[in-house]
Structure 1
Amino acid sequence: MLTLARSVTHTLSERLAIYQQEGLLRQLRTADESVDFCSNDYLGFARSAELKRAIQQADVNHITARTGATGSRLLAGQTVLADEIEQELARFYGTESALIFNSGYDANIGLFACLPKAGDTLLTDELIHASMIDGARLSYATRHRFQHNNLVDLDTKLQAASLRQSGQIFVAVESVYSMDGDIAPLRELADLCDQYGAALLVDEAHATGIYGSGPDGQNGEGLVTALGLQDRVLARVHTFGKALGVHGAVVVGPAVLRNYLINFARSFIYTTALPPHSLLAIRCAHEQVKSNTMAQQQLKTNLTYFQQRVKDLLPGARWTTSQSPIQCLIIPGNDKARSVASAAQRVGLDVRAILSPTVPVGQERLRFCIHAFNTTTEIDQLLAVLQIALSDKPNV
């Protein structure tokens, strides 16, 4: 057994060495005091003293002997608090029901693995998140990818699926795409799904807290609600670890969907439930997004400023088409992308390169996240560094 163990560890070391030689080795990097241009804390809630105090007070006020859930919700982990917060979330997101999962990854794994069954067809945008892809791989449905945001290609695949007359058809997209920052044509997608009798599934991870109802979309329920499409989408996944600054996720939709997931979503059935503290944090974060619209307004102001300064200072740069806080500068080649990111990091700006194979070869990039708490001075400093780094001057 010792020899076998050594053989396995040697194989693992060889694989890691290959990754290192190719410049692809991932390593954990502890966040420091650098200016944040990379996190998903769009509204600054994760660093909000107000939200922190609210969560602490909610903990004090909530009388419970438990610090943990002690089991899955189908065993010892079910609580009145969980039910109450799910009802609050259903009202917030304008739907019949809500079911909390421990993370967005768990929610997508559970939803996609159990909803489309053998004989069904699952059509997924080619740029959906890894958690959606992994869930789809666990499904026994027939899966086809369609070109990113390409309604003509989706129409062709929907027509082919409908002609087979076999099972249900599901279409899966993100409302805001995590790696390009662009937005799905949700109205047109809903129209196509209605035409072919398909069910639409939408991951709202990067839209939650940023878009929604209200005069300026400030209520934060996501893009589906902002467009009034709640009744035309079967399931939405909202995650809480990005703009809402806490942890966990929820799948919202009709009541029958919640009951189905309780019975068939393995990532819900076979995991210990979130502890009371996490549930209370979810409640407090949603209360804050409803009451604090200043952060959303400041985020929009900062995004507008960033985009205008890019036009002024980097007119020849290649950017993805994005009106979201995710702004991506395409810099082909892992070495070049890494070099430009390093130039920003050396002056205290937390900028990260996204390299192939995470993105296709030639699509390597710097992925900037604009936040409500970024200042115009910080944005100007970032763009000044990019100007120099992209000019290939030797002092960078």
Structure 2
Amino acid sequence: MPESRRQLDDTLGVLLARRKSHGRLRRLSNAPPNSVDFSSNGYLSLSTNPVIQKSLVSRLESELANSENSNALRRRSILGSGGSRLLDGNSSFAESLEAKIASFHNAEAALLFTSAFDANTGLLSCVPQPGDVIIYDELIHASVHDGTRMSRATKRIPFSHDSISETHQWRCSNGEDGHVGHQNKSKSQGLDDVLKQLSGDEHVMSSKSNVFICIEGLYSMDGDVPLLKKIVETVDQYLPSGNGYIIVDEAHSVGVFGEKGNGLVCKFGLENRIWARVLGFGKAMGCAGGAILCSSITREYLINYARSLIYTTSMTFTSLSSIDVVYEYLISGHSEPLRQHLETLIGHTYLQLHALCARLHPGRRTLYIEKRPSKSPIIPIFTAHPRNLAEHCQRHGFMVRPIVAPTVPAGSERVRICLHSANTPDQIDGLCDAIGMWVQSQMATEKLQLSKQQHKQITYGADVVTKQDKPRL
């Protein structure tokens, strides 16, 4: 290897070693084949649903048979799309699927992207113009951060997650500490404060500058939802001219909330008050890809300016078919029993975890569970020892993942439980038993360490006294 390449490897190695020393080194890993899944984002277990699998295979076989009966010039590839949407990658199938998606979510139009990440970066990098402002939840997904960095917006301002969090409002109304576990206090201003400051901006108030407000429908690390109605009212209050445009990333909320799983925005009937919604199909929908729900003119603008759409190969027939099959399943109402069962499992999990805490009384650094039961399938278990707890659960056959900084803010580390409709109450009980075993072991270890520390302090104090009392010769 040339010396110059070795030098670069040395530099990268130092950076990796530094991250490892901070306990933040990421590694690829595979879940053991026999472990119980409490980690993946497939909340409705649709990717392993036999009905959906058979329907998809049937479509692919039908397409293959039609292709074999056609001449070589008329055959359609099921493996590759042939190029970007603007070249050879478009199809009537893709356009009809977009119409179906828009109709299901009560939107004017939809535009498919290869991922929700591409959808977010494409939307935010090209729509905000010079002079515009983007304000965003401090806990927003990385794709939104990347999109805002690539945008031409003049200002990018974060606001505190607590200011829009339904869970935080419940804590405050019940007299609880505003911050869970050992979480650090946010340094960002609240949404109200940021909008109030912007209302003093002449360009904003004269509508020469637009303000884009970015939030999520369900936060993947905390498992909480935003106060969506309040956010709409707040934006209307401070931006009465109508130049406040709310963008909701529904990657985790689609399939989980709303009628037949059409999302949080539809659940509250705010389709006409939200400027754009970003959908992700890799979570509850059980497949892959993403889409933007928007107006027809915005769709046309994105086709012309969104680089993550223009310069990437479009989705294959196989990918489009998997999305179509899942939407047919949701539209038919077949997913409703799965969603109801998931809600039952969520309630059972909170019941078991709260009983565990009431029985063992762990300190907040050891283990903390939100006291407010949620309808979210994402349940964070706050602890100062997330890797240790996750490894313990994995050894007992339960796949959970530690979530540490920088994925979450330092001081808010946790183990995340993701529930699925295919999980059972017995599996949840087994996971909670494993967590309880770890808590007891951790508390015993901490008690022993404290005892040794106190003994050392007493011994040190005795030594000091002895030296002071010793007479001089």
What range describes the TM-score normalised by the shorter chain of this pair?
over 0.9
By how many angstroms is 1:323 displaced?
3.1
What residue in structure 2 maps to residue 145 of structure 1? Answer: 158
Counterpart residue identity of residue 152, structure 2: Y
Partner in structure 2 of residue 318 of structure 1: 368
* Pairing 1:12-91 to 2, within 5 Å after superposition: 12-32=12-32, 33-62=34-63, 63=66, 64-66=75-77, 67-91=79-103
Tell me the secondary structure at the aligned position of residue 179 of structure 1.
coil
1:322-366 deviation per Cα after TM superposition (whole angstroms, max 9, x unaligned): 43110001102xxx2111111100011001110122222221100
Match of 2:338 among 288, 295, 299: 295
The answer as to 2:257 corresponding to 1:211 is yes
Which residue of the partner structure matches residue 8 of structure 1? Answer: 8
Give the whole-Å Cα distance in 2 for the aligned partners of 1:252 and 1:149: 27
Distance 1:149 1:54 in 2: 43
* CA apart distance, 1:394: 6.5
Q: Is the 8 A contact 1:149 1:185 kept in 2?
A: no
User: Among residues 402, 405, 408, which one is paired with 1:356 in the alignment?
Assistant: 405
Partners of 1:133 and 1:155 lie apart in 2 by: 21
Give the gaps of 5 or more residues in structure 2: 67-74, 165-188, 204-208, 362-366, 446-473
Deviations 1:76-107 (Å, cap 9, x if unpaired)? 11111111100111111111100000001101
Matched, 1:156 2:199: no
Alignment of 1:299-310 (within 5 A): 299-310=342-353
Map of 2:141 onto structure 1 = 129
What secondary structure does 1:163 align onto?
coil
Worse overlay, 14-23 or 278-287: 14-23
Contact 2:132 2:211 in 1 (8 A): yes
What is the CA distance between 1:370 and its match in structure 2? 1.0
How far apart, in 1, do the equivalents of 2:299 and 2:404 lie?
38
Q: Output one character per residue of 1:177-204: Cα deviation in whole Å (capped at 9) or x when no partner.
A: 1110110010011112223131100000
Counterpart of 2:122 in structure 1: which amino acid? Answer: G
Q: Secondary structure at the match of 2:212?
A: strand
Map of 1:366 onto structure 2: 415
Within a 5 Å distance, the mapping from 1:242-391 to structure 2 comes to 242-291=283-332, 292=334, 293-315=336-358, 316=361, 317-320=367-370, 322-332=374-384, 336-391=385-440
Please say which of residues 266-275 and 358-367 is displaced more in the overlay. 358-367
The answer as to whether partners of 2:122 and 2:309 remain within 8 angstroms in 1 is yes
Q: Distance in 1 between matches of 2:255 and 2:162?
A: 23
Deviation, structure 1 residue 393: 5.9
Aligned: 1:237 with 2:250: no
8 Å contact kept, 1:68–1:275: yes
**Is the contact between residue 104 and residue 331 of structure 2 (CA under 8 Å) also seen in structure 1?**
no
Instruction: Identify the range of structure 1 (73-82 vs 319-328) with the bigger mean alpha-carbon deviation.
Output: 319-328
TM, length-normalised to structure 1: 0.94
Checking the alignment, whether the CA contact within 8 Å between 2:354 and 2:369 is kept in structure 1 is no
Q: For residues 152-173 of structure 1, give each alpha carbon's deviation from its aligned partner in whole angstroms, at most 9, with x where no partner exists.
A: 8212211322321321011110
What TM-score comes out, normalization by structure 2 length?
0.79
Q: Which moved more, 1:308-317 or 1:288-297?
A: 308-317
Stretch of structure 1 that moved more, 47-56 or 202-211: 47-56
- Is 1:104 the counterpart of 2:156? The answer is no
Once the 2 structures are TM-superposed, how far is the Cα of residue 23 of structure 1 from its aligned partner? 2.3
Distance 2:410 2:26 in 1: 17
Q: Is the 8 A contact 1:113 1:139 kept in 2?
A: yes
The one-letter amino acid paired with 1:138 is M
Q: What amino acid is aligned across from residue 357 of structure 2 in structure 1? A: L
- Conserved 8 A contact 1:173-1:202: yes
For 2:459, the equivalent position in structure 1 comes to none
From the superposition, tell whether residues 34 and 301 of structure 1 become closer, same or farther in structure 2 (CA, over 3 Å): same
CA contact (8 A) 1:244 1:289 kept: no
Kindly provide the amino acid, as one letter, of the partner of residue 163 in structure 2.
N
Q: Please state whether the residue corresponding to 2:199 is helix, strand or coil.
A: helix
Q: Which amino acid is 1:312 matched to? A: A
Equivalent residue letter for 1:50: V
Query: Do the aligned residues in 2 keep the contact of 1:124 with 1:145 (CA within 8 Å)?
Result: yes
Return closer, same or farther for 1:169/1:47 CA change in 2, 3 Å cut-off: same
1:216 — aligned with what? none
Report the CA distance shift for 1:157/1:21 in structure 2 as closer, same or farther (over 3 A).
closer
Of 357-366 and 91-100, the range deviating more from structure 2: 357-366
Q: CA RMSD in A?
A: 1.7
CA contact (8 A) 1:204 1:223 kept: yes
Greater shift in the superposed pair: 80-89 or 140-149: 140-149
Counterpart-to-counterpart distance in 1, 2:198 and 2:248? 20
SS in 1 for 2:326: helix
User: What letter matches 2:108 in structure 1?
Assistant: E
Structure whose CA Rg is larger: 2
- Residue type of the partner of 2:13? S
- Please list the CA deviations of residues 49-95 of structure 1 after superposition, one character each: whole Å capped at 9, or x if unmatched: 21111111122233452121111001111111111100111111111
| Letter paired with 1:144 | I
Query: What SS does structure 2 have at the residue aligned with 1:87?
Result: helix
**Contact persistence 2:110–2:293 (CA under 8 A):** yes
What is the aligned partner in structure 2 of residue 202 from structure 1? Answer: 248
Q: 2:216 aligns with which of 174, 188, 195?
A: 174
Gaps of 5+ in 1: 214-218
Secondary structure, counterpart of 1:280 in structure 2: helix
The aligned residue for residue 452 of structure 2 is none
Question: 1:22 deviation in Å?
Answer: 2.6
Bigger drift between 9-18 and 296-305 goes to 9-18
